[in-house]
């Protein structure tokens, strides 16, 4: 078995060899600025155009609706600032959930300190939005609703099509952070009535530092970045051509194995959950059991802290992620775990294991055995 076993695919994913191969010529031979007219520039522009078409196709958008950005964080920021600033005359109210990524929460909080208003749509104990609850939160001055497609910590998938339909009916713009789902879960921006969608290449085996924002044609947003006419004037700055080509290639490759991977990873996810529940006492699975990312396992293990578990796993060659961070001597649950109602004691032993394209059954069985050993060792220490 090849070590390390990488079970942190929600944090980032390895770049596929075919993606690296597609990018390489754009560093060395086709290095032109894509805004120029001579042939190395034109070749770079062709690479960008192809990537734009692939990204658009993957979500049933048109190429002119795709704006390339530096990643998920910029896309989320640009969507929120862009819509709220461009639509001030219509209203200043925006809605989101308490389990969003900080890339959504922080720009909203900053806007709220500067004359806008932000409210939370409640989520249930699985971190899921009920469209009926959202309907109650929409006001005449609501301009934007931002609800993530799937949660990056606990893997819960939201009913995006129902939320989109409701927002369209009520005349409110709908943004979704699809950083954890683009290339993993089928997305159709038309059928799901999405107005703005954020994605990031490094979550789908593409390079880091490149992403995109889908902006439905005709939606008024302010410019993301000033100082150039690139991206039809929406985002100034020389394009990151190799990154964009890498994103396009990654989207092309992953959408071919999306269905197969979903089925395989769902099977492995359930094997991991069942194995841990059989061999460990005091295991609680967080998030939805039915509306869940195929690659996400998020659990709390009673009586132990997440960080020493991570260190124990790392010693055995397994990469994972904790759900609570140690700050000033006490363990602080993430905002997501707090929002789904976990108390500090339960959230201490939070652990996220996220599977990927390379994960196989052998890796899962090794993880079950290793994690049980690490937890037993830590529990012995506590008792001693």
Could you list the residues that contact ligand PLP (CB under 6 A)? 71-73, 76, 101, 103, 148, 152, 177, 179-180, 200, 202, 211
Q: Least distance to ligand PLP from the beta carbon of 146, Å?
A: 11
Strand order in the sheet with 321-322: 283-285, 296-301, 350-354, 321-322
**Cis peptide preceding 173, ω within 30 of 0:** no
Is 179 or 283 the residue whose CB approaches ligand PLP more closely? 179
Q: Least distance to ligand PLP from the beta carbon of 77, Å?
A: 9
Is 90 or 352 the residue whose CB approaches ligand PLP more closely? 352
Q: Least distance to ligand PLP from the beta carbon of 254, Å?
A: 16
Is 61 or 204 the residue whose CB approaches ligand PLP more closely? 204
Catalytic residue among 137, 300, 319, 326: 326
Residue with the shortest CB distance to ligand PLP: 72
What secondary structure, in 3-state letters, does the chain show? CCCCEECECCCCCCCCHHHHHHHCHHHHCCCCCCCCCCHHHHHHHHHHHHHHHHHHHHCCCCHHHEEEECCHHHHHHHHHHHHHHHCCCCCCEEEECCCCCHHHHHHHHHHHCCCCEEEECCECCCCCECHHHHHHHCCCCEEEEECCCECCCCCEECCHHHHHHHHHHHCCEEEEECCCCCCCCCCCCCCCCCCEEEEEHHHCCCCCCCEEEEECCCCCCCCCECCCCCHHHCECCCCCHHHHHHHHHHHHHHHHHHHHHHHHHHHHHHHHHHHHHHHCCCEEECCCCCCECCCEEEEEECCCCHHHHHHHHHHCCEECEECEEEECCEEEECHHHHHCCCCHHHHCCEEEEECCCCCCHHHHHHHHHHHHHHHHHHHHHHHC
Q: Least distance to ligand PLP from the beta carbon of 361, Å?
A: 26
Q: Give the separation between CA 313 and CA 126, rounded to whole angstroms.
A: 27
318-319/321-322 β-pairing: unpaired
Is 32 or 174 the residue whose CB approaches ligand PLP more closely? 174
Is 150 or 378 the residue whose CB approaches ligand PLP more closely? 150
211-215/283-285 β-pairing: unpaired
Is 177 or 195 the residue whose CB approaches ligand PLP more closely? 177
Respond yes or no: is residue 167 known to be catalytic.
Answer: no
Is 156 or 346 the residue whose CB approaches ligand PLP more closely? 156
Report the catalytic residues.
Answer: 326
């Amino acid at each position: 078995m090849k070590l390390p076993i990488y079970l942190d695919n929600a944090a980032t994913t390895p770049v596929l060899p075919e993606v690296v191969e597609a990018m390489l010529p754009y560093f060395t031979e086709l290095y032109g600025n894509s805004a120029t007219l001579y042939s190395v520039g034109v070749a770079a522009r062709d690479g960008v155009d192809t990537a734009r078409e692939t990204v658009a196709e993957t979500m049933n958008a048109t190429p002119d609706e795709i704006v390339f950005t530096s990643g998920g964080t910029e896309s989320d920021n640009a969507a929120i600032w862009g819509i709220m600033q461009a639509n001030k005359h219509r209203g200043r109210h925006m809605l989101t959930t308490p389990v969003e990524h900080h890339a959504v929460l922080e720009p909203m909080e900053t806007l709220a300190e500067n004359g806008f208003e932000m409210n939370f749509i409640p989520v249930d104990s699985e971190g899921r939005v009920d469209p009926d609850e959202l309907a109650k939160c929409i006001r005449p001055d609501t301009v934007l609703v931002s609800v993530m497609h799937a949660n990056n910590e606990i893997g819960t998938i939201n009913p995006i099509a129902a939320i989109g339909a409701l927002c369209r009916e009520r005349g409110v713009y709908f943004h979704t952070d699809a950083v954890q789902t683009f290339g993993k879960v089928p997305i159709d921006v038309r059928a799901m009535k999405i107005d703005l969608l954020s994605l990031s290449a490094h979550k789908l085996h593409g390079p880091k530092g490149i992403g995109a924002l889908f902006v439905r044609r005709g939606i008024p947003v302010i410019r993301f970045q000033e100082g150039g006419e690139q991206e039809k004037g929406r985002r100034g700055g020389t394009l990151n051509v190799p990154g964009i080509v890498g994103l396009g290639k990654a989207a092309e490759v992953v959408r071919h194995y999306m269905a197969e991977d979903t089925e395989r990873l769902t099977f492995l996810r359930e094997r991991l959950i069942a194995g841990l529940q059989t061999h460990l006492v005091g295991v609680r699975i967080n998030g939805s059991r039915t509306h869940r990312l195929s690659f996400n396992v998020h659990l709390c293990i009673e009586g132990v802290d997440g960080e020493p578990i991570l260190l124990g796993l790392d010693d055995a060659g397994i990469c994972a992620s904790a759900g609570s961070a140690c700050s000033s001597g006490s363990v602080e649950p993430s905002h997501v775990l707090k929002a789904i109602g976990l108390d500090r004691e339960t959230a201490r032993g939070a652990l996220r294991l996220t599977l990927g394209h390379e994960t196989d059954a052998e890796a899962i069985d090794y993880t079950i055995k290793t994690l049980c050993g690490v937890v037993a060792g830590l529990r012995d220490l506590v008792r001693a």
